[in-house]
Amino acid sequence: MNVNRIQFLTVPVADQARARDFYVGPKGAETGIVLVDRPVGGLDHDARVHFQLSTTDVDADIEELRAQALDVGDAEEMPWGRVTSLKDPDSNAMGLLEPSGYGDWPR
């Protein structure tokens, strides 16, 4: 695998402002946290934690994951890079991103 870091984690939250104050990362950190609205009254089962891994070669990683009999989508071209998605054994969504350099991510 060519994965070199966790790109971001998505965390369902009830109050984004409160969560923003709680989830403070270290200066210069390369991992982002995306706070998404969670429905009032509890966890929406579709609002699972999602994370994205950064890779230097998404095509090679897709090939390797498929060789392990994992269901991995084809790579898609986006302005921020080439991406694909898959699910872990618990059906949590995962993404792989080969960054394009657009936007100079991470900052």
**What distance in Å separates the CA atoms of residue 52 and residue 85, rounded to the nearest whole number?**
9
Percent of the chain with pLDDT over 90: 30
Closest CA to 96 of 104, 106, 36, 80: 80
Cis peptide bond prior to 26, omega within 30° of 0: no
Q: Which residues contact 106 (CB under 8 A, 6 or more apart)?
A: 29, 30, 32
Predicted local distance difference test score (pLDDT) of residue 33: 82
Dump pLDDT digits (tens) for 5-25: 888 888 888 888 888 877 777
Does 12 or 58 have the greater pLDDT score? Answer: 58
- For residue 47, give the amino acid letter: A
Question: Which pLDDT tens digit goes with each residue over 78-93?
Answer: 998 999 998 876 677 7
| CATH no. for 51-107 | 3.10.180.10
- Does 39 have pLDDT greater than 50? yes
Q: Rounded to whole angstroms, what are the CA distances from 26 to 23, 29, 38?
A: 10, 5, 25
